[in-house]
Amino acid sequence: MSETLIRQTWSVCPECLEELPARVVEDGGAVYLRKDCPEHGASECLLSRHAWYYEALDRYYFSVMPEEIRQRDYLIRVNERCNLKCPICLASAVDTKDGPPPTPDMELERLEAFMDTHRPGSLKIDLISAEPTLRQDLPEILRAIKKRGHISSLHTNGLRLADRDYLRTLKAAGLDEVFLQMDGFDDEAYLKIRGARLARTKVRILENLEAEGVATSLVMVVMPGCNESEIPKVLDYAASRPFIREVMFLGTRALGYFRGNEELLMPDQVIDLVEELCGGLCPRPEVFRFQKLYFALLSVLGVRKCLYVQHYLLVRDREAGGFVNLDRFIDWKKVEPILDELPRTPRTLLGRLAWLFRLGLALLSPRALRLLPDFLSLLIRLKFGWRLRRLPFRPLLIGYITACDPINLDRKVGQHCGKGELAMDLGLHESGSDANIERERMWARLRKS
């Protein structure tokens, strides 16, 4: 073993879930998270096959991100019931008739009490878990969120949104945006990933969302050997449909039901897939530069974001008949030196404002003027809440995302998790990463009992 240490951290053993020291290392041009359990031996998670990328981004992230930033985005696990039985489900690991009783639904009063401890309009409320649309009182929940001025996001498989009248009901109740499971257009892939053929239904759901003008993020689970070829099809679909404001590529992880091995993907591996399959879109060097810019702005604006969640920005272009990369508009030779100044910039209001001013001058090249209103709108959304329906139409945010599991858990990354969680089984966690591991421990105890 010829590993070179990048950073020390903490994690858990994938077998017994006990806390133990871990290290992020470079070995043979790749980067791994490695740990050694006294009982179960060594284990590792591949983080990246591109050491230059990961080492530099890891170093930059921890040099600019403040240690403490208040959480403002919360996953609300409103119920543990579903109308699908996905083999990759992260929501529940207990699926036997003689298993423990199901977790009760989140009480509306409990959600209201939680929201009332925060300033009106300061939160993003992600209604999530198994399938939120099975809550008969979902419109009432949305009205409660809207009454307090918070952002409401519905994370859903979308089956009930195939009923346009039902979608209208949710929209009238205050629904801001939808995060739709959209794994492509191939029925065989859906059968493997979701346990049912859903391609036609998904298209009908998307048609309803577009007709009702609901800002939408497509969340595509990418499973190796199954649906990688659907990646460019999903992006092509989004190109001419501005109601789609984000496309998030989610690698499968060892949580809940799913205990794959070869199928597990970290965001860095999905970056490779998108670059390989999409004909010049989203090249890794561009993703690297944009990610530095994104982390820098989040740091200055005081917004939490996990290192494991990475992004890029495509721009819709009618002349090109699809998307173009961001280097068409940004002179990175001027911008990147300003980004590299941030770790040495005083963490004072005056220091940060001066840095933002220099960054603005670097961004204002002649070719960037066409996107100036879009840049300003994105900056406002970063600061005051990522409300999809208020994002500009031309840009499309690409996300390479993951969930923290016992294999990839890095406690130093998890402490910056961009999502908190409120649930009936585990209560309130300021880090969704912590909640994932606690839930795995709880399910492990239940399986043994």
Identify whether the C-beta of residue 230 lies closer than 8 Å to the C-beta of residue 189.
yes
Percent of the chain with pLDDT over 70: 97
User: Over the stretch 239-270, which tens digit does the pLDDT of each residue have?
Assistant: 999 999 999 999 999 888 777 767 899 999 99
Tokens 């977790």 correspond to: 103
* DSSP label of 347: S
Residue 190 has pLDDT above 50, yes or no: yes
Which pLDDT band holds residue 448 (cuts at 50, 70, 90)?
A: confident
The pLDDT score that the predictor gives to residue 370 is 80
Average pLDDT over residues 4-24: 97
What value does the mean pLDDT of the chain take? 93
Q: Which residues fall within 8 angstroms of residue 27, CB to CB, at 6 or more apart?
A: 1, 2, 3, 4
pTM of the model: 0.94
> What is the CATH code for 73-287+393-401?
3.20.20.70
User: Over the stretch 342-360, which tens digit does the pLDDT of each residue have?
Assistant: 999 998 999 999 999 999 9
Percent of the chain with pLDDT over 90: 79
In 107-231, at which residue ranges do the beta strands (DSSP E only) sit? 124-129, 151-156, 177-181, 215-222
The pLDDT score that the predictor gives to residue 392 is 85
Q: Where exactly are the structural domains of the chain?
A: 1-49, 73-287+393-401
